[in-house]
Each structure stands twice: as C-alpha cells, then as structure tokens.
Structure 1
Amino acid sequence: MKYKPELGILFVTILWGASFAVSKLIMADITPNYYTFLRFAGAFLVLAICFHKRLRHIPKQTLQAGVLIGLAIACGYVLQTMGLNYTTASKAGFLAGLYVVLVPVMESFLCKCLPRYNMILGVCLATAGLALLSLERDFTIGFGDLLVFVGAVFFAVSMVLISRFASKHDPMVLAIIQIGVTALFSLVLAVFTEPGLSAVQFTPVLLGLVLFAILFGTAVNTAVQNWAQGYLTATTAALIFVLEPVFGGVFGWLLVGDVIGMKQISGSALIISGMLVTLLLKPGQRAQSKADQGVQLSGRS
C-alpha cells in the first residue's frame, strides 16, 4: 500500500487521542502514579521482550542519554496523568499538544537566535487558545489544566533532548530506556505519595482498560511510530500528529461524556492553528532541522 507510513502515523495519533479518555476511565479506580507505573512497566516488558537482541550491549552513552530523556518524559507523563484527575480528557488532549509549538521556540533560544515570525505567531495563537480553553471567569487557570500544560513543557524539553542525542544512538533502545525510567520514576512517587494497590480493584473491565493502555497506548504505538517515521519527513509526521487533540476531544466526548461547547471549540481551534502556523510557515534552516529531529523522535510514546 502506497501510504502505509502515513496510515501508521495516523494510527498512532488515534491511539494517543484515545489514551486520554482511557486514562480518565482507569483513574476512577487507580491513583495516577500507580497507573502510570503499570502502563509503562507493562510496555517496557513488552518492548524489551520484542527487541531483546538490541538490549544485550547498551553503550554507557546511550544509557545516560536515555535516562536523561526519560526523566523529562517521566515528569511530563506524571504531571499529565495527575492533571487528568482535575480536568477533562478533551481539554487535556489539546493542552498536551502545545509541545508542538514549544519545541521550535526552545530550540531558537538554545541556538541563541531570535524566534522567527512563525514561532511568535504560533505561540500567540496557542496562548490565546490556552487562555480561552482554561481560564475561569475570575481569570485563574484550573489546577488540572496547569498540570497538563507544565507536562507539555516537559514533553517539549524531552524532544529537544532527543534532537541532541537521537542521531548518535539506537532510537528503539532509547525509547525502551525512556519507558523504563518513566515506570521507575512513577513507582517511586506512588510508593511515597499514594495508598497501595489492591487486587480487588482490578475488575475485568479495569484490566481490559489497563491492557489497552499498556499495549495500544504505549508499546504498539512506539513500535509503529519508529517504523513509520523511517519513511516520512518529520514535518509530514508532525502535521498528522496535530490531529491528536482532535481525536482526544472525540474520544473524550464518546467515552467519558466531556461537554464540548463553543468556548472549548474556539480555544481548541486556536491551539491547532498555532501548531499549524509553527509547522507550515518555515523557520530558518538551522532551527528547523533541530526542531524537526525532535518532532520526528518525539518522547510521547
């Protein structure tokens, strides 16, 4: 099939969108950090078994890079998952997508150059969307929205780090290390901050949702993403990834009954516009190449 890679990225994007609603359902019964641990520990085992030959001899530099990126990703997922307890799945999907806008801006500052006009316009549109989507009537931002947004900042940091290390290391090995670090980080937080898990909590429905999160919310989409992006430009992949918040909103409405009114639609449209402006209006070649690398090997998995 001619468009297999594009369909692969679209499949990954749909799974990411669905994972917000699935996570919301799971956290009705499991605390956030224990859920994050179960999700990523399970995915780590699946990928480690599937790619065990690549893990036999991991260079020290690869391990160090994977741990550093993994810490940023772990912070992103922990904050995002905790934030889902206080906001809707559809809003979380749009707020988490802000990493697409933040990456090139961070890169421009690291390169010690002024942000290009597309970055400034994209950030302005996304910020307006963030305000419309998240600000309450007294102009305060919801606690859950704030956690998800800070999580998006950490995702952007992880992508910038990946752009520094990915070309020097096996991307699948890096991904497995990152997932393992996220599992360990969330377990430590869970042990010290949350009550323990009980086997009674795991009903057949809950087990099915957790298995979905492990396999299709983390493991399968990581493998498919790594395969598909070997055949696509980073910009093409990123443009498909922009649909993630849309699918997040759809699944939030279908599965958990999120209310989507004009305020939510308008704010979400501004955020997506900011993403598209950032991606389609080309920045300078130097900043673009680094940002593209980060998008191509995104830490979201």
Structure 2
Amino acid sequence: MLAVAFVWGATFVVVQNAISFLEPLSFNAIRFSFAGLFLFAWIAIVSRPLLRQLSWRVIGAGAWMGLWLFGGYALQTVGLLYTTSSKAGFITGLSVVLVPLFSFLILKQNPTTNAAIGAVLAAFGLYWLTGGAELSFNRGDVFVFFCAISFAMHIIVTGQYSSRYSTLLLTMVQIFTVAILCFIFAFCLEEATNMWDTTVLRRPEVWGALTITSLLATTAAFLIQTGVQKYTTPTRVALIFAMEPVFAALTAYLWAGERLSPSAWLGGIANFGRHDPLRTSKCALMGETVAGKAEYLLVAAKAVLREQWDSFFRHVGRFAVMIL
C-alpha cells in the first residue's frame, strides 16, 4: 500500500503537466478507459474462466466503489476552480481522519487510541506540508471537503467488498465506472473535442502521462488496494495513503525543482515519523525472520504463475504488514 501511495504521489507532477494540455475530466476519462481495457484484456487472455463470476452483485459492488472514487476526483477538480492548491491538498487529506470515523459508524470497527492519534498527527502533518493553509472557507473548500468524504468512503466500501468478490473483477468494474462517468461529465463541463485532438494526444507530456498513470497509477494501484484491503483495516490504509502528498512534494522537489518551505519539511517529517501502533502486527509478535518475508514473496510469485490471485494478494498483504 505504501508503494501505491508512492506511485500516486510520484505521478502528481506528470499529471499536472498533462492537464495543462488536456482538461482533467477528459484526461481521467482516457486514463481510466485505457486501464479498464488493459485489465479486461488481461482477464480475457489469462483468466478467462473468471468472467463467469461477473454477476450483477459484482457489477453493483464495483460500480458503488467506482462512484465514490469518481466523486473524489470530480469534486476535487471543481473545488480547485475556487480554492488554492494548498488548501485543497490539506482538506483532501482530511480523509485520513474521516476513515476511522466512518469505520466506527458504518463498519462498527472501533479505532484504537493510537490509531486515532496517528490519524490526527497525519492531519497536522498535511496542514504543515501544504504551507499552513488559511482556515477560512469558501465554496471551493466545500466541494473539496465532499471530495475528502468521497475518498474516505471509497476506502470504506473497498474494505466491505474486497473480501467478498474477485479482486480482478471488482477492480475492472470500478475502473470502467469511473471512465464512463468521466466521459459523461467531460462532455457536459469541458471542451470534450480535445479528447479526440491528435495534436494534443501526441504530445509527449500527454501520452506519456496517460501510459504511466493508466498502467501504474490506475490498473496496478487499484488492483493492489482492492487485493490487500482484504487483510488490513480501512484506518491503516488511510494512514498509509496519508504519505501520498509527502511523496508528491518530494518528487516535485527532485524532478520539477520546486522549493519546499520549512513548514512543508516539518509536515513531511510528521507524516514519516508518526507512530502507527499497527506496526506491531501478529507477524512481528511471532518473531518472523527475513527468510519468512522472502518466503511470502516467493509464494506470491508462484501464485501469479498459477493464476491464484487470492493467494497472491494474501501473501503480498502479509509481507506488507511485516515491513510497514
């Protein structure tokens, strides 16, 4: 999951460059379409029998996940029209606090005291990372706050359904749901003709970003999230995902030459250094060795070759719990 946060954070600069030529909803419509088609082709070629499990229940669960995910992207895009990037980044990051609350209200999971402290520390870290955004609110901030609710709910519903249905099918359906909704709203709110403008699409900044984000930041990232959430809690996922803006700031500093303020460095350190009690996992208490970690990765690799996807995600999840 930390790798997912890294990919999302590291691709932020790439996406930012691309949407200066192709509007955000149009970009995401193409990005999620490519990702969905790639995943469908993979299933059709490698795991064709899995398509028989594509029931209306699976479609409904995946569409519900996709709806919340789209809501996060769309509301953030609208909110950025009326508020600053720093405030949007901080408010979006409040999902790390909302997830434990929703886990308690919806899933009836009581967050531990240390997990709650970790969520609050992560929120403060995000506040400093975004330069100490002003605490005044406008309509853009309201849109972004509902964006944070959407992203938090996406983590919650992913946790609800990931253990019930096929990871590959759930991920494919939610990705196609986001793609369809992005196309609809792009035609309503943006200059949708840019989506078919070959001059725009052939720009290295655009096709490069579409390739990287569709394969890594969409197909691989949501496959990992959906698969690994079977073996961890939504609160833990939210705490790990709070590292995304840290990685985004670091990659912007290293690749784009952006300067980080002292408060940004302080926020990054707060997020890196926050205590997460969930580190003390059962695996750690059992005294797992380096050899044990390697064994999990070996079994996961064998599971891929045998197309045993549940086994793959189970062992990758155990490995992640041991090292995080």
Separation (CA, whole Å) in 1 of partners of 2:244 and 2:269: 13
Other-structure match for 2:105: 109
**Quick one: which amino acid aligns to residue 33 of structure 1?**
L
Other-structure match for 2:181: 185
**Quick one: which amino acid aligns to residue 26 of structure 1?**
A
**Quick one: which amino acid aligns to residue 164 of structure 2?**
K
Other-structure match for 1:55: 51
Other-structure match for 1:20: 12
- Equivalence map 1:133-282=2 (5 Å): 133-134=129-130, 139-140=135-136, 150-196=146-192, 197=194, 198-205=197-204, 206-223=206-223, 229=228, 234=232, 238=237, 241=241, 243-271=243-271, 276-277=275-276, 279-280=278-279
Superposed displacement of residue 102, structure 1: 2.9
Q: 1:29 to 1:122 in 2, by over 3 A?
A: same
CA contact (8 A) 2:10 2:251 kept: yes
**TM-score normalised by length of structure 1:** 0.73
Superposed displacement of residue 168, structure 1: 1.6
Which one has more relative contact order, counting CA pairs under 8 Å at least 6 apart? 1
Separation (CA, whole Å) in 2 of partners of 1:95 and 1:107: 19
**Quick one: which amino acid aligns to residue 166 of structure 1?**
S
User: Kindly, what percent of the aligned residue pairs are identical?
Assistant: 27
Of 35, 38, 43, which aligns to 1:43?
A: 35
Separation (CA, whole Å) in 2 of partners of 1:82 and 1:259: 27
Unpaired runs of at least 5, structure 2: 282-313, 318-324
**Quick one: which amino acid aligns to residue 65 of structure 1?**
A
Unpaired runs of at least 5, structure 1: 1-8, 283-292, 297-301
Separation (CA, whole Å) in 1 of partners of 2:152 and 2:134: 29
Superposed displacement of residue 126, structure 1: 3.5
Superposed displacement of residue 185, structure 1: 1.0
Other-structure match for 2:124: 128
Separation (CA, whole Å) in 1 of partners of 2:199 and 2:155: 39
Separation (CA, whole Å) in 2 of partners of 1:124 and 1:224: 26
Cα deviation, 1:6-50, whole Å, max 9, x if unaligned, reads xxx554443222221111111111111111111101100100100
Q: What is the RMSD computed on CA atoms of the aligned residues?
A: 3.7
Other-structure match for 1:5: none
Give 3-state SS (helix, strand or coil) of 1:51's partner. Answer: helix
Cα deviation, 1:86-107, whole Å, max 9, x if unaligned, reads 6559x84x76555444322211
Could you tell which deviates more after superposition, 243-252 or 166-175?
A: 243-252
CA contact (8 A) 1:133 1:267 kept: yes
Give 3-state SS (helix, strand or coil) of 2:11's partner. Answer: helix
